[in-house]
Amino acid sequence: MKKLFTILLALSMLALCACTPAGEDAKPQVFSAGYARADITPENGTILGGYGDKDRFSEGALDYLYTTCVAVSDGSGDPVLLMTSDMVRGDWADELRKAVSEATGVPIDNVIHATTHTHSGAEPQLEGGYKQPLTEAMKKAATEAIADLAPAQIEIGSTQVENLSFVRHYTTDTGIVIGDNFRPDGAGSITGHTTQADSLLQVIRFNRGEKKPVVMINWQGHPTLASTTMANGKETRSLASADYIGFCRSYVEDEQDCLFAFYLSGSGNLNAYSRIDGEGVKHPKVYGEKLGSAVVSVLSDMKAVETGTVSSTRKVHKGTSATGGALDLPFYAVQVGDISFVTSQYEMFDTNARNIKDQTPFEMTFVLTLTNGKNGYMPTQECWDYEGCYEVGMCNYARGTAELMEKEYLQALQELHNGK
């Protein structure tokens, strides 16, 4: 009888251990996503950036500009905040991220701040007063996105969208390669583009039950249309605008009853239209709605992928500057289940971004440019040989850095995928 009691006691203890959580680690990990955005449309009289003009003052707004936050969490720790703002560059990045971190309690390495590179937003270098309202808007969006976190499932989709973005380097009948912003003497007539632009549109959707789904897209093409076009019979150069991104956002949200976030991929060598025979789309609304239509089409045929670990890892490339000195280039690799994000402070060319997206070990990787900082252009090897590649003259890095960085991005993604 005593032996039987001992056996029953042992079995009951095993059952109790099996049913009792062993502290916080026993909590089930549930993937969740949250969303919020805040208005950052510049006031009238604000100097608009993108071209270095000191006398291009805002006389109104063509559409609203926003700072947007998508918060993601696996339930085991701090969320990662994937923020994106309708700004020309990533000025004040560390200050802004620190302010968001302090307001939310999220570690600064979990705060990612991308910019859309609109050329019709406030010029940070000349509008220091814009920093304070931008900071408050980012804190508000981040706080509300965290509060909005809800269990979610992940879906992805993609398609090729032709004739919306073009490589802005052209071959000529004299053999000289020219760019949109620089034409050497004796260049001759344009005969074609040096390469074809990356036309891959990537889409992520977080389905959140009864809450609106969050739709994120990764696309490439300089947002310069609002500053070079006409609307209602007048130039829009003096109107603040998120450019085609704002019109794409409105189109997708109206069509899908969703929440939209845009992340700019490698666009350092891409324009939103071509010099050749006026090919392409020159109005931001037309361009945005064409891109939005492609997004809606992708959303009709999405693929479910695994949720899982959410983490952010900081890496530093130990490189060489254009003048030969040592140069540190920090970047982040973020895992969200079986999808990922990588960040660059500089204007990456579409060639490098396309290689990363093609070779990633994840189901999908978004490449985020002008993120967590601003560091000019990073041309590819061949661009250094083009006489008309003005981006080389605005590059802070030694030749070959783009290719080295590409390898480091892919290595960081592989390590993340392997769980290292």
pLDDT at 73 over 60: yes
Chain-centre distance for alpha carbon 279:
26
For residue 278, the model assigns a pLDDT of 59
Q: Which of 204, 206, 230 is nearest to 219 (CA)?
A: 204
User: Taking residues 21-45, what's their average pLDDT?
Assistant: 80
For residue 283, the model assigns a pLDDT of 85
> Using 50, 70 and 90 to split pLDDT, how confident is the model at 15?
very low
For residue 38, the model assigns a pLDDT of 98
Least confident of 14-23, 73-82, 221-230, 319-328: 14-23
> Using 50, 70 and 90 to split pLDDT, how confident is the model at 231?
low
For residue 41, the model assigns a pLDDT of 97
Q: At 257, phi and psi to the nearest 5?
A: 50, 55
The answer for residues whose C-beta is within 8 angstroms of residue 328's C-beta and 6 or more apart is 316, 317, 318, 319
pTM of the shown model: 0.91
Q: Angle between the 284-299 and 244-256 helix axes, to the nearest 10 degrees?
A: 40
The token duo for 100 is: 């968001």
Residue 220 and residue 265: Cα distance in Å, rounded? 5
**Domain membership flag for residue 24:** no
Total domains present in the chain: 1
**Domain membership flag for residue 14:** no
Chain-centre distance for alpha carbon 100:
18
User: Taking residues 112-126, what's their average pLDDT?
Assistant: 94
pLDDT at 160 over 90: yes
Only one residue has tokens 């666009």, namely 267
User: Taking residues 147-166, what's their average pLDDT?
Assistant: 96
DSSP classification of residue 109: G
For residue 217, the model assigns a pLDDT of 98
**Domain membership flag for residue 23:** no
Q: Which of 263, 243, 317, 259 is nearest to 112 (CA)?
A: 263
Residue 184 and residue 271: Cα distance in Å, rounded? 20
**Domain membership flag for residue 133:** yes
> Using 50, 70 and 90 to split pLDDT, how confident is the model at 45?
very high
| Helix (H) or strand (E) run with residue 143 in it | helix 131-147
400: left (phi over 0), alpha (psi -120 to 50) or beta: left
For residue 17, the model assigns a pLDDT of 42
Q: Which of 286, 212, 222 is nearest to 254 (CA)?
A: 212
Residue 99 and residue 93: Cα distance in Å, rounded? 10
User: Taking residues 345-364, what's their average pLDDT?
Assistant: 97
Q: What is the mean pLDDT of the chain?
A: 89
pLDDT tens for each residue of 274-293: 666 556 667 899 899 999 99
pLDDT tens for each residue of 196-213: 999 999 999 999 999 999
pLDDT at 228 over 70: yes
Chain-centre distance for alpha carbon 363:
17
CA angle 256, 258, 262 (to 5 degrees): 105
Range of the domain at 299: 32-418
**Domain membership flag for residue 12:** no
**Domain membership flag for residue 11:** no
**Domain membership flag for residue 5:** no
Residue 49 or 359, more confident: 359
**Domain membership flag for residue 242:** yes
For residue 22, the model assigns a pLDDT of 42
pLDDT tens for each residue of 127-154: 889 999 999 999 999 999 999 999 999 9
Question: What is the total residue count of the chain?
Answer: 420
